[in-house]
């Protein structure tokens, strides 16, 4: 009897402990972060700790923040950066909880466009319209981190861009040149096909890949002024020019690998990296993974060529996040200094060099030829990645509607006209 009694006591205690720890889990982790903060501050009284939270949690990122610390201290020696990464898939949830419980970091890595606007509109962020150095960015780039009130809340930190990547060895073998027009591009694809090389690595199993690739070629078909016209309400997603951009993606189908319906980004990467395909329409951020699969591969990049000779080629770019200041931060002054540093060429070069990403800050370079080439194309021919910059609202978002519908199109369940009509229907639910 005694044994049973004591066992039930143990169980009860355990249950209570579980319940308490479940409720208090958040406090626990905050406690430890806070103590490390005071630890940093205690070493020297003049030092100010600025915490930064981000969804970029890779090891290379840890290294990047160490570099940032060193560079920053050249101009602001008193600032200590406390980098608090959160797993990408859990970042939004964790940030929302931290903001609503007033435990968020001083500097917040904002997801771009609509997602950032939501946080700004909820009044969690400090406007930074008067921040020194903001004028290095284009108005387009600044839009990635504005509230509905039109105020600036974040400093754009890196550009993503989509263009055509190609295998230089394969191009050399068949004596191919970077195409100057869309027709040349198609002819080039035909040549590869007739030589039993898959022209384009492609797969429609994952929706996001489809909007990415559509986004890359679309500006050449709906025209460089379509986004503006759409925003002014002068054009719609079911307008002929938008439909033709969807038809253009569909028209590439003969150049895709067999059974592309079942291929995901992993497969696309493998097909391109192993030389089975000559080209891929892809984001700059895939290059590192492709090179990891095959360090020998020589990759070149070109902008999507114009349909009409003489028109400008295009690459689609978007700001992949910005840094904003938490409205309830205790260290706003120091946080502003960090943000000011994030507008300098030193910072831009660091982004370019260590993340291999184009930086929105003009005039920076690295010794990586491909990164420089892409960076150059992005600044010369950049067009907004419409689905991310403007169609990322609604529930489900118009972007994710487009993705699933494009998948349907490649499964012959929808025509390009139906896709266009459906995405316009989705936009109607939120776009005014």
Closest distance of CB 262 from another protein, Å:
3
Tell which one of 44, 93, 194, 289 touches another protein (CB under 8 A): 93
**Interface size with another protein, residues (CB under 8 A):** 52
Q: Which of residues 385-404 bind another protein (CB under 8 A)?
A: 388, 392, 395-397, 399-401, 403-404
In terms of CB distance, is 9 or 75 closer to another protein? Answer: 9
Which x/- pattern, by CB under 8 A, does the window 290-319 give for another protein?
Answer: ------------------------------
- Binding segment toward another protein, per CB under 8 A, in 61-69, 74-82, 241-249, 264-272: 264-272
d(CA 225, CA 306): 14
Does 238 help bind another protein (rule: CB under 8 A)? no
DSSP, residue by residue, 97-117: HHHHTT---SEEEEPSTHHHH
Reported for 247-254, long-range contacts at CB under 8 A and 24+ positions apart, including other chains, are: 247/221, 247/416, 248/217, 248/218, 248/220, 248/221, 249/210, 249/213, 249/214, 249/217, 249/218, 249/406, 250/409, 250/410, 250/416, 252/189, 252/200, 252/202, 253/410, 254/193
Cβ neighbours for 307, distance < 8 A, ≥ 6 positions apart: 181, 182, 220, 221
Does 289 help bind another protein (rule: CB under 8 A)? no
Q: Which of residues 50-89 bind another protein (CB under 8 A)?
A: none
Half-sphere exposure of 155 (CA within 13 A, CB side): 27
Closest distance of CB 214 from another protein, Å:
13
CB 338 within 8 A of CB 81: yes
199: which 2 tokens? 């022209």
Question: 3-class DSSP state for residue 310?
Answer: coil
Closest distance of CB 139 from another protein, Å:
22
In terms of CB distance, is 24 or 262 closer to another protein? Answer: 262
Find, among 159, 262, 176, 252, the residue nearest to 214 by Cα: 252
Continuous segment of H or E residues that includes residue 251: helix 240-251
In terms of CB distance, is 354 or 404 closer to another protein? Answer: 404
In terms of CB distance, is 282 or 340 closer to another protein? Answer: 282
> Which positions lie near another protein, rule CB under 8 A?
1-2, 4-5, 8, 11-12, 14-15, 18-19, 92-93, 96-97, 100, 111, 114-115, 118, 122, 203-208, 211, 257-263, 267, 270-271, 388, 392, 395-397, 399-401, 403-404, 407-408, 411, 413
């Amino acid at each position: 009897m005694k044994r049973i009694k004591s066992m039930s006591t143990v169980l009860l205690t355990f249950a209570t402990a579980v319940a308490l720890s479940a409720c208090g889990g958040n406090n626990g982790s905050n406690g430890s972060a806070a103590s490390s903060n005071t630890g940093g501050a205690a070493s020297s009284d003049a030092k100010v700790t600025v915490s930064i939270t981000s969804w970029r949690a890779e090891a290379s990122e840890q290294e990047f923040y160490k570099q940032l610390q060193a560079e920053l201290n050249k101009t602001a020696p008193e600032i200590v950066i406390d980098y608090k990464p959160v797993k990408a898939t859990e970042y939004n949830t964790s940030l929302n909880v931290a903001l609503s419980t007033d435990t968020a970091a001083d500097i917040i890595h904002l997801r771009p466009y609509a997602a950032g606007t939501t946080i700004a509109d909820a009044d969690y962020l400090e406007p930074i319209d008067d921040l020194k150095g903001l004028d290095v960015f284009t108005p387009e780039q600044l839009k990635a981190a504005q509230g509905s009130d039109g105020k600036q809340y974040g400093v754009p930190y890196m550009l993503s861009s989509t263009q055509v990547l190609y295998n230089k060895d394969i191009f050399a073998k068949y004596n191919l040149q970077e195409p100057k027009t869309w027709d040349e591009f198609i002819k080039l694809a035909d040549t590869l096909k007739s030589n039993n090389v898959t022209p384009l690595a492609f797969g429609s199993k994952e929706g996001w890949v489809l909007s990415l690739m559509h986004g890359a070629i679309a500006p050449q078909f709906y025209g460089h002024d379509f986004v503006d016209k759409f925003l002014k309400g002068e054009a719609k997603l079911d307008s002929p020019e938008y439909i033709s951009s969807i038809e253009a993606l569909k028209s590439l189908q003969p150049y895709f690998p067999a059974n592309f319906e079942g291929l995901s980004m992993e497969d696309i990467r493998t097909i391109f990296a192993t030389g089975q395909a000559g080209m891929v329409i892809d984001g700059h951020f895939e290059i590192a993974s492709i090179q990891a699969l095959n360090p020998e591969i020589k990759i070149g990049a070109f902008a999507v060529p114009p349909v009409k000779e003489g028109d400008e080629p295009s690459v689609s770019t978007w700001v992949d996040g910005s840094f904003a200041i938490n409205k309830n931060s205790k260290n706003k002054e120091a946080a502003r200094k960090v943000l000011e540093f994030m507008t300098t060429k030193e910072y831009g070069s660091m982004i370019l060099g260590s993340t291999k990403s184009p930086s929105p800050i003009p005039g920076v370079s690295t010794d990586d030829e491909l990164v420089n080439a892409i960076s150059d194309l992005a600044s010369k021919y950049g067009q907004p990645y419409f689905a991310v910059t403007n169609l990322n609202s609604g529930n489900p978002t118009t972007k994710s509607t487009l993705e699933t519908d494009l998948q349907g199109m490649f499964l012959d369940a929808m025509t390009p006209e139906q896709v266009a009509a459906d995405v316009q229907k989705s936009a109607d639910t939120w776009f005014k």
